[in-house]
Chain A
Amino acid sequence: MTDDKISQAEKDEAADFADRAKAQAAGAAETPGAHTLFDVQEMELNFGPQHPSTHGVLRVVLKVDGEKILEARPDVGYLHRGTEKLFETETYPMGIPHTDRMDYIAAATSNHAFCLAIETLLQVEVPKRAQLIRVILDELQRLSSHLVWLGTSGIDLGAVTPFWYAFREREQILDFFEEYCGARLTLNCMRIGGLPFDLTPGWTERLAEFVADVPARIDDYEQLLTDNRIWKKRTVGVGVISAEECIEWGLTGPILRASGLEWDLRRARPYECYEELDFVVPTRQGGDTYDRYIVRVQEMRQSVRIIQQCLAKLEPGEIRGKVPRVIKPVAEEVYASIESPKGEIGFYVVSNGTNKPYRMHVRPPSFINLQALPRLAKGHLVSDLVALIGTIDIVLGEVDR
């Protein structure tokens, strides 16, 4: 925002405040000194940035009447590190580690989207084996990201036990990542044109063993939550949003699918080898927190199926395409996006023919999904706000970049 825009916003706010003060004074004059039980008494509540359930450093400025939310204004930027600008100062391959630090719960998908954008720019073909391994890594990441979401949103609603179960499984997934690329969180596990390493011996067998076990574990979580009366009470009908509204807000991912639209980039605009794979895009019609929960749980089951199919298809081969040593794409603009666990993550690259991008813009699903929070939270209670922040599934690293 430019300076005069800011000052305009400030002026608006001040005018708004003055109006309200005047209205209040007028109201007070009508009924001198008498506050009835039904008066709206606004209290401003600072929800975050230090709060146990804002999932990081999100600050939500709440206007509440008792516990009812009149207005919720997310205030983001506490974790801003200027990632988009950093991309411009470094060569293309050096950008990949920065993507790790955006959605640090799902680094592989950020890596993937970034690499895909550059590959589209270079028009590089990724070998089959690399494609399959990429899909495996993506789906493992989706599994682990949904597990984190499941655990933390359970805690947000007071159910502490699913958290430990979910993290037990996530720990195993991180072990697989660690064995593959040495890192557990900031993976840096993809390269432009393919992958940095081939799989270690025995990795696929152990992974097959693990994923075969996952559906039973998911049954365990569902046992605790899905038919739980309190869980349903807390989630059914909370934060309802229709598919039309989702599109207007630009919401993607499980939120959109829980509102009834079958829009999954893996199916709608297939990348890598997703079109050869057999999987269902789970959708629900209600568009509330409960449906988003169900959709994510079903997605976890589908991820297992995808991983199993990829493991079956895996054959020895190249893991990197023909990429020039120094990456100097032609001057062009490219947008490439994939389905991350949170929604559509896309990279818009403007190349000027040098070895560094001229401009790199990220379409972060968390940030765009978070926009809908005021719309979702209005009229609900403070307890529901926590459920809503959980159900949007944000990662502040990605929101603020």
Chain B
Amino acid sequence: MTLSPTFWTYVKVVLLVATVPAIVGFVIVLAERRIMGFMQARLGPNRVGPQGLLQGLADLLKLVTKEDITPAKAEKAVHFLAPVLAVIPALTALAVIPFGPPIQVGKTSIPLWVADINIGLLFLLAITSIGVYGIILGGWSSNNKYSLLGGLRSAAQLVSYEVPMGLALVSVLLMTRSLSLVEIVRRQEVTNLWFVFPGMVAFFIYFVAGVAETNRNPFDLPEAESELVSGFNTEYSGVKFAFFFLGEYTAMIIISCVAVTVFFGGWLPPFPNVKAFDVLDVVPGAIWFLAKVSAFIFAYIWFRSTFPRYRFDQLMALGWKWLIPISLANILVVAFAILLFPGRTTGLVWLSWIFGGLFVVMYLLAKLRQKLAKRDRLAAVPQTVEG
């Protein structure tokens, strides 16, 4: 008996919707707290279960049993709708992510994605931008000034950062000529090159914008705790708050998944299709994918414990004055390179060298600047009194 593809699709949908929130609650949140604890010279939660592994359960119980408060004079329907709007699009977006190459079960080959649609990337951008409404409406409907300010901030921030994010992905589309995420991965396999090299600039812009899109440090202005109490979710409690939480973390996963798929070769090992590195194929594709996504989540956590927060106008200036012009220039450069070298990979290799060189130069310059600043600082204050 063979099972129809539709059946497998249902199985995958159920699995995704069931596992992703669990992973968020049990793994990512705990990992975040433990890793931040490690970075901040403290322990983090380690009381519930061995090494705090059941902390997620305790958190869940707390959030579910908490009273669900809707403030008086809040816009009740919208207040209810907002957290739903934050979660559903985030979970929906998971549908087009290819988690690994198709696996063979007997005669049938089951792809590790729910749907491979030819407008995958566009669908992702479209559906994730709906999640923004959850935050804006949540802030607006709460009838609280801090929530309102948080909502206003997110409205401006999230809409602004959609633009550089989209533009960064456009330059990759020039390389792949396909919007399908599966096709993007396959293309990287064919060119033997992760697109992070020819798309280095695009990747940086994409990830910066991605961090801003998910309201994480250093762009966590909509919920800036020290300024706006808790921002857009100030008036939310219990399950509704948990939904916002889930939405944010799922969005983080999606940003990481897309970064991995588009720039880091998805399920491919490093140096795909290069004979010398065939050993790396031993590890299944899905594991590679998972490892890469985990690295991104770690980067998110790392950011959170390192950076101070941007101010609102500075955030806007960064988006409009830097990221958008750079991403436009990047599209131009990439387009020219592809036009000038019509072969499949020559242009991309050239781009990799150019961007690689640029990166090294900029890194060295930044280091030098840091050194000089430190020297000046130390010179400014004498260590002893003369006379």
- Which of A's residues lie within 8 Å of B, judged by CB? 43, 45-46, 51-53, 66-67, 154-161, 163-165, 168, 224-228, 230-231, 233-234, 278-280, 282, 284, 294, 298, 305, 381-384, 386
**Residues of A contacting B385 in the complex (Cβ-Cβ under 8 angstroms):** 278-280
Instruction: Say how far B338's CB is from chain A's closest CB, in angstroms.
Output: 33
- Of A158, A231, A294, most B-chain CB atoms within 10 Å: A158
Alpha-carbon separation in the docked complex, A245 to B370 (Å):
33
Which positions 212-269 of chain B face chain A at CB distance < 8 Å?
217-218, 220-221, 224-229
B7 lies within 8 A of chain A by Cβ = no
- The reply to whether B308 and A227 form a contact with Cβ atoms under 8 Å apart is no
Question: Does B374 sit at the interface, judged by CB under 8 A?
Answer: yes
Residue on A nearest B382 in the bound complex, by CB: A280
A235, B380: Cα distance in complex, Å: 19
**Bound Cα distance from A377 to B313, whole angstroms:** 16
Q: Which B residues touch A66, using CB under 8 A?
A: 152
The residue on A at minimum CB distance from B225 is: A52
Name the segment of B38-46, B111-119, B327-335 touching the other chain: B38-46
Once the chains are docked, how many angstroms separate the CA of A46 from the CA of B153? 18
- Interface pair A164/B309, CB less than 8 Å apart: no
Q: How far is the CB of B380 from chain A (nearest CB, A)?
A: 8
Cross-chain pair count, CB within 8 angstroms: 99
Within 8 Å by CB of A381, from B42, B311, B381, lies B311
CB distance from B139 to the nearest CB of A (A): 13
Q: Is the interface of B mostly helix, strand, loop or mixed?
A: helix
Q: Is the CB of B226 within 8 A of A386?
A: yes
Q: How large is the interface on B (under 10, 10 to 19, 20 to 34, 35 or more residues)?
A: 35 or more
Tell yes or no: B129 within 8 A of A by CB: no
Q: Which residue of A lies closest to B152 (CB)?
A: A66
Task: Check A165–B40 contact: CB distance below 8 A.
Answer: yes
B232, chain A: closest CB distance, angstroms = 14
Assess whether B229 is in contact with A67, with CB atoms less than 8 Å apart. Answer: no
Q: Does B65 belong to the interface (CB within 8 Å)?
A: no
A158: contacting residue among B36, B308, B384, CB under 8 A: B308
Residues of A within 8 Å of B228, CB to CB, are: 382
Q: Mark B292-318, 1 if CB is under 8 A from A, else 0.
A: 000000000000111111111110000
Is B62's CB within 8 Å of the partner chain A?
no
**Chain A hits for B370, CB < 8 A:** 227
CB-based contact B306/A45 at 8 Å:
no
Distance (whole angstroms) from the CB of A48 to the closest CB of chain B: 10
Chain A residues with Cβ below 8 Å from B146 are 45
| Alpha-carbon separation in the docked complex, A168 to B384 (Å) | 28
| A161 contact from B39, B314, B373, Cβ within 8 A | B39
**Within 8 Å CB of B36, what residues of A?**
160
B307 lies within 8 A of A230 (CB): yes
CB–CB B220/A158 < 8 A: yes
Taking A168-B41, A282-B381, A386-B226 as contacts, is the C-beta distance between A159 and B308 under 8 angstroms? yes
A165-B41, A230-B308, A386-B227 given as contacts; is B145 within 8 A of A158 (CB)?
Answer: no
Counting CB contacts under 8 A, is B383 at the interface?
yes
Cβ–Cβ contact B218 & A156, under 8 A: no
30 contacts between A and B (CB under 8 A): A46-B145, A52-B225, A52-B229, A53-B227, A67-B149, A67-B312, A158-B217, A158-B224, A158-B226, A161-B39, A161-B40, A164-B40, A165-B40, A165-B41, A168-B41, A224-B306, A226-B377, A227-B370, A227-B373, A227-B374, A230-B218, A230-B307, A230-B309, A234-B311, A278-B385, A280-B385, A381-B311, A381-B313, A383-B309, A383-B311
CA distance A98 to B152 in the complex (A): 46
User: Would you give the shortest CB distance from A251 to chain B, in whole angstroms?
Assistant: 21
- Rounded to whole angstroms, the CA-CA distance of A279 and B314 in the bound complex is 39
Are the C-beta atoms of A233 and B39 separated by less than 8 Å? Answer: no
Give 1 or 0 for each of B10-48: 1 = CB within 8 Å of chain A CB: 000000000000000000000000001001111000000
CB proximity of A323 to chain B, nearest CB, Å: 34
User: Contacts of B310 on A, CB cut-off 8 Å?
Assistant: 230, 233-234
Rounded to whole angstroms, the CA-CA distance of A267 and B373 in the bound complex is: 29
Q: How far is the CB of A247 from chain B (nearest CB, A)?
A: 23
Question: Cα distance A156–B308 when bound, in Å?
Answer: 9
Which of A164, A226, A384 touches B311 (beta carbons < 8 Å)?
Answer: A384
Q: How far is the CA of A156 from the CA of B224 in the complex (A)?
A: 9
Q: Closest CB of chain B to A220's CB: distance in Å?
A: 10
| A278 surroundings in chain B (CB, below 8 A) | 384-385
Q: Which residue of B lies closest to A283 (CB)?
A: B381
Bound Cα distance from A230 to B217, whole angstroms: 11
